[in-house]
Structure 1
Amino acid sequence: MGTSRNVERRTILKAAGASAAALGLAATTGCGGDSGTSADGTVTIRYSWWGADERAKKINQTIKLFEKKYPKIKVKTDFQDYVSFWEKFQTQAAGGNPPDVFQNAVTFLRKYDKRSVLLDLKPQIDAGTLSLDNFRAGVTKVGEVDGKQLGVPVGSNTMALVIDKKVFQKAGVEPATGWTWDDYFKALKTIHDKTKVPGDTGYFSIMYLYDLYLRQNGKAFYTKDGLGFDKADLTEWWQDGYSRVKAGIITDPKTVEQDRPKSSLSAGHGASEFTWDNFTVRYTAEGSSEYGLAPIPTMDGKHTGQYLASLMLSASARTSHPKEVAQFINFMVHDPEVGKIMGYDRGILASTQQYDAFKPTDPVNKEIAQYEADTARAGVLGTITPHPSGADTIEAAFLRIGGDLAQGKTKPSAAVKQFFDESQAAFQA
């Protein structure tokens, strides 16, 4: 299941995404084609996702396992980068021809449920075709909307703070569980003063982080039907962030733009960045320093506002093969061999069978697994904030307008008004 300077949305996948044709995939798992049933009773379903080449290679390995176990079900695949995926999906959904099963995220559940695109999987669960047993605590709730099961998680993650360990050590700053926002901002200044490296790459335009901050203060980014905060709340948040950019302790947004598709953290132009915990592998691949996970700052030293988000598999309400789709989803979320192949590509594995089957051997993935285990053990995880229809548009607006503010293209008051105006329009669309 996102994104924040949502690396999945804006950077990793957009930069590394490719079409299935570019991989030269076999015809049995090629793009396009309609779902259907052949003369011998073989059923074909279409499966689409967003991701980079490496994800596609892994998923196609898992499909071979599935087709071996279910020889009467064939799977045609299609994948793009994040932006292209949703552009294509929207066109397919509007035309009444979405894929039978597809990768999904909480941001889109209400949007496409409202348009009657998503299949309620509860009948297949009740029939025993699809199981919601043996999942890590709380994960399956992410796919529930108004009593319907619209998605089943394949992996979970939570927001974290990724740090450049060498820069933090050089500055003599050591993040600790329970540190406050005041502690964090003091740390950013210390880092900048002692190393001349900005302490953070731009926290204040990350929607999911602001959601945590609001949750720490008894609010949330969303209610069921709208925004869960007012203009005064956002003005304070954005004015505070803008002031820190001007003070030099936040990376200059022009530098952030120049560094793309790399992160300014891995480019050495920032010492920390808020993102999803399983994205830590990205910084290790891009950068030359040593990166690790640090706790989310708090208001009271305890409540972080964190929750488990997830990537999930959803199905089309128009599929002609609900049973076969349910069998496919069930296999993909429970089969241990699938877990071994996928690893933490889509987050920490959601089902206990797959979680137990995959044993990370590299330091980065071990740290990711330990971070989630420690966070769960701390008892701070809550229920994910509901995302109303239009949340995808609102997330993009938050990132874009926050970036304009950081660059001085607009003032905090004007930025806040623009965001609320665009949000209202998104809710009504």
Structure 2
Amino acid sequence: MILRALKSRTPKIAAVAAALALALSGCGGGAQPDAGGPVTLRFTWWGSDVRHKMTQELIDAFEAKNPNIKIEGEYGDWSGYWDKLATQVASQQAPDIIQMDLQYLGEYSKRGALLDLKEVDLSKFDKAAADAGKTPDGQFAVTAGMNALVVLANPSLVSASGVTLPGDQSWTWKDYGQTAADITAKGKAGTYGSGPVTGDASFNLWLRQHGKSLFTSDGKLGFDEADAKGFFEFQEDLRDAKSVPPASILTEEASAPLDQTGMATNKFALGWMWSNQLGALTKASGQALEIKRPPSTDGNAKSAQQYYKASQFWSASSRTKHPKEAQQFIDFLANSVEAGEIGLADRGIPGNSEVRAAITPKLSAVDAATASFIDDIADEVGDSPAVPPAGASPAGEILTRFSSDVHFGRLSPEEAAKKAIEELKSGLS
């Protein structure tokens, strides 16, 4: 799913990045507030019909407490969201409050399009969750919900193979690959030990465990060719051991909808996913999928450099005429138990620890398991990764594409590493 999601976003990311390069060059400085009277704020988000209805409940609850502030909702699906937002920003008609994604946060914040959210209280947030929306220049986003990178296990397929999974607090990358290979060899025909382990999320975890990072806080690559070569050699090992499907199947997986991926259709015993995908995949597969920690280099979960990722963020336009009220609404969304009880886990597990504790008894069994996992790894989580800089948006697609070239045998790990770094650096420059 990680590979699939990133590939499906790539054309949109490239188009929006190009638009921002032109549209946002004159942004920043903010707008002068209107004097007195009722305040109207425009609020934009993407999501399903269920999310739209739930978000309107959040708006109603806030307006009931703040009768002088009216929130006008603007929403749609993911496919058209970013083109529309870029156009609005370019024409100086940006919404006051923006549902933001990590892939675009660096682009918008670097070009001065976002407000520094100094007045939003983050004292009850886990540090990693608070820092997820922070750049060296300011707090330009607040975590709307937390994710963690996980390995989901299909107990039915694992049991059918007769293979015993290593403990997830002590397994290594080598253990993972060998376990997946054993499941492929001993499991049902047409099933595989693991789905793809590609893209920027798994690569970033790999780098963190080797003392590096995908990006640095000053907007550069945080790794070199030797680091990338090691990761692509791991891809080669997975291919040769048949830990993962043939390259042709991995290519199909890249563009499959979530409910048609190998984890959803009971083809993969193990899959690298985000924790908030547990519910959808459990429903699609009909299996009681289990959350496992990703492997580490040394077999010690406490040094695995796991990290929290914001599933989405709340941001505000730097040109809003009402910065105080915009931050007041974001503070309500982030810190109100009432808002938490309305939204539950729709946008991920709340970053505010008190809100998280308050809503956990109200969650479905699957969402409660996700919340429990988020709490369980709290003392294993490292610093929040640097926000991807402007020009970094296509990184996931680039890494996935060169991993695919290795799986097809078109490039050696060394060649893939060299070409990937050249392309990544070109984007950042």
Letter in 2 for 1:194: K
Instruction: Indicate which of 172, 176, 195 corresponds to 1:184.
Output: 176
Larger mean CA deviation between 341-350 and 408-417 belongs to 408-417
CA contact (8 A) 2:192 2:268 kept: yes
Change (3 A) 1:96 1:37: closer
Residue in structure 2 matched with residue 113 of structure 1 by the alignment? 109
Q: Secondary structure, in 3 states, of the residue corresponding to 1:77?
A: strand
Instruction: Indicate which of 243, 263, 284 corresponds to 1:265.
Output: 263
Residue in structure 1 matched with residue 144 of structure 2 by the alignment? 154
Counterpart mapping for 1:2-401 below 5 A: 4-5=2-3, 7=5, 10=8, 41-122=37-118, 125=119, 130-170=120-160, 171-176=162-167, 177-196=169-188, 197-203=191-197, 205-224=198-217, 225-256=219-250, 258=252, 260-261=256-257, 262-302=260-300, 303-310=303-310, 311-358=312-359, 359-376=361-378, 379-386=379-386, 387-401=388-402
Q: CA deviation at 1:93?
A: 2.5
Change (3 A) 1:93 1:400: farther
Q: CA deviation at 1:276?
A: 1.4
Q: Deviations over 1:211-267 (max 9, x none)?
A: 111111111111222111112322232233144235432123433554611221111
Larger mean CA deviation between 244-253 and 363-372 belongs to 244-253
Q: CA deviation at 1:280?
A: 0.7
Q: Secondary structure, in 3 states, of the residue corresponding to 1:108?
A: helix
Change (3 A) 1:391 1:273: same
Q: CA deviation at 1:202?
A: 0.6
* Aligned mates of 1:247, 1:91 — CA distance in 2: 48
Aligned residues: 395
Letter in 1 for 2:307: Y
Q: Secondary structure, in 3 states, of the residue corresponding to 1:424?
A: helix
* Aligned mates of 1:426, 1:149 — CA distance in 2: 24
Letter in 2 for 1:300: D
Q: CA deviation at 1:297?
A: 0.5
Q: CA deviation at 1:409?
A: 5.7
* Aligned mates of 1:107, 1:227 — CA distance in 2: 16
Larger mean CA deviation between 37-46 and 74-83 belongs to 37-46
Larger mean CA deviation between 294-303 and 357-366 belongs to 357-366
**Residue segments in structure 2 that go unaligned for 5+ positions in a row:** 13-30
* Aligned mates of 2:50, 2:407 — CA distance in 1: 34
Q: CA deviation at 1:81?
A: 3.5
Larger mean CA deviation between 355-364 and 251-260 belongs to 251-260
Q: Secondary structure, in 3 states, of the residue corresponding to 1:66?
A: helix
Residue in structure 1 matched with residue 15 of structure 2 by the alignment? none
Change (3 A) 1:8 1:101: farther
* Aligned mates of 2:32, 2:381 — CA distance in 1: 43
Q: CA deviation at 1:131?
A: 2.0
Return the TM-score normalized by structure 2: 0.84
* Aligned mates of 1:334, 1:8 — CA distance in 2: 30
Cα RMSD for the two superposed structures: 2.7
Change (3 A) 1:269 1:345: same
CA contact (8 A) 2:152 2:292 kept: yes
Larger mean CA deviation between 167-176 and 155-164 belongs to 167-176
CA contact (8 A) 2:193 2:243 kept: yes
CA contact (8 A) 2:146 2:309 kept: yes
Letter in 1 for 2:327: A
Which protein has greater RCO, CA pairs closer than 8 Å, 6+ apart?
2
Change (3 A) 1:181 1:159: same
Change (3 A) 1:220 1:172: same
Q: Deviations over 1:92-142 (max 9, x none)?
A: 2333322211112344333212211011122xx2xxxx3223223432122
Q: Secondary structure, in 3 states, of the residue corresponding to 1:5?
A: helix
* Aligned mates of 2:268, 2:176 — CA distance in 1: 14
Q: CA deviation at 1:339?
A: 0.7
Larger mean CA deviation between 407-416 and 357-366 belongs to 407-416
Q: Secondary structure, in 3 states, of the residue corresponding to 1:391?
A: coil
Larger mean CA deviation between 348-357 and 308-317 belongs to 348-357
Return the TM-score normalized by structure 1: 0.84
Change (3 A) 1:120 1:232: same
* Aligned mates of 2:224, 2:400 — CA distance in 1: 18
Letter in 2 for 1:154: A
Identity percentage of aligned residues:
29
* Aligned mates of 2:59, 2:415 — CA distance in 1: 50
